[in-house]
Amino acid sequence: MKKKYIQNVIFNPLQFFYPQNPCQYFPIKYNNSMLKITIPAGEGGRRFDRFLSKYLNRAPLPLIRKLLRKKMIKLNKKNATGSETVSEGDEALFYISGEFMERLREPAVQKDFSGTCDNSFAKLIIYEDENALVLNKPAGLLSHASVESGPSLIDMAVNYLKPAYMSFTPALCNRLDRNTSGLVVCGKNLRAVQLIDAAFAESRVKRFYIAAVSGEITEPGVIESEYRKDASRNVAHISRGLMKGKDTKKAATAYTPLGQSANRDFTLVRAELMTGLSHQIRAHFKYISHPIAGDAKYGDPIVNRMLRDGFGIRSQLLHAHTLHIDCDILRNTEWTAPPPAIFSKFIANAFDIEI
């Protein structure tokens, strides 16, 4: 009796993921008419079923695969399984009623940040082509949004690009601390993001920063150390020969002095980020007793107060100035961004140098 009962049970793995079979929840409605979608540049290089999951954003993947099996979705007028790789200009054909399509797809709600950041996102654009945006992030603006943070750089970039993209969300390929200004790269499509990310991962990128540091530095040098990030306190720790463990990494920053202030209280340096770790430059200069001016986390509170009261400076004087990326997908491979006005003014007054 027990054996017979087990044999008659129909096991449905979907019951663990959906309250009922998704194909019952979305009853299929055939239609003689056809909806055609042309694959835009931002979607090339991904599997057809992954594209469909993004476009039909309310449809579970098993239902999408059933629609493919029943030939209600085709690619370039041919039957498709979903494993095909789509390219720009390919055509997805939907033989589905308009009512049913509305149940499968909910248009994405776009945040509108067009009125933020002094109403001038276009002024942040250093370079743009069909694959990437290179932006000059202001100090004080987050690269990515956090809880209750307001608009971020990526929010504004997505808002700027949204007319051209259907399901792929543009992504930043590097990030800067909130109070660090300078160059950030945004990939417009999946292939661009993958290739630019690979360039960063494979050290085919050169990053140069301009910083004003406390004290006098007269000779170029390289800071090499062990590095560990305390995520709970959001603080980087630096040492030489003392740190061990799986969370310890190697960090290296090269620097060249560009000039000293008249009273030798500050040095303007050009720093090359040889390893790209969070807070690396800021923690390294603190380690050699030349903290970055204006840095609330790693800097000298007395110096910071003087800069705030005398110059209105409320963030670290650190700017991602020059970026070179060895990546064939980009028409241009090197960019330079001017420092914020308040930093440029400090450089001109303290060092009599134009950057």
- Residue 134 and residue 90 share a domain: no
Q: Which domain holds residue 96?
A: 14-104
**Rounded Cα gap, residues 118 and 87, in angstroms:** 38
- Residue 202 and residue 63 share a domain: no
pLDDT(10) > 50: no
Work out the number of other CB atoms within 10 angstroms of the CB of residue 102.
Answer: 12
For the chain, give the percent of residues with pLDDT over 90: 58
Out of 74, 104, 134, pick the residue that ends a domain.
104
Residues 275-322 have pLDDT tens digits of 999 999 999 999 999 999 999 999 999 999 999 999 999 999 999 999
- Residue 225 and residue 147 share a domain: yes
Work out the number of other CB atoms within 10 angstroms of the CB of residue 114.
Answer: 12
Q: Which two tokens stand for residue 168?
A: 């792929």
Instruction: pLDDT band for 37, please (50, 70, 90 cuts).
Output: confident
Specify the CATH number for the domain of residue 232: 3.30.2350.10
- Residue 90 and residue 147 share a domain: no
**Rounded Cα gap, residues 332 and 326, in angstroms:** 10
Instruction: pLDDT band for 116, please (50, 70, 90 cuts).
Output: very low
Out of 104, 138, 159, pick the residue that ends a domain.
104
* pLDDT value at residue 87: 87
C-alpha closest to that of 37 among 61, 55, 64, 49: 55
Number of domains comprising the chain:
2
Instruction: pLDDT band for 241, please (50, 70, 90 cuts).
Output: confident
Residues 64-80 have pLDDT tens digits of 999 999 999 999 999 99
- Residue 154 and residue 64 share a domain: no
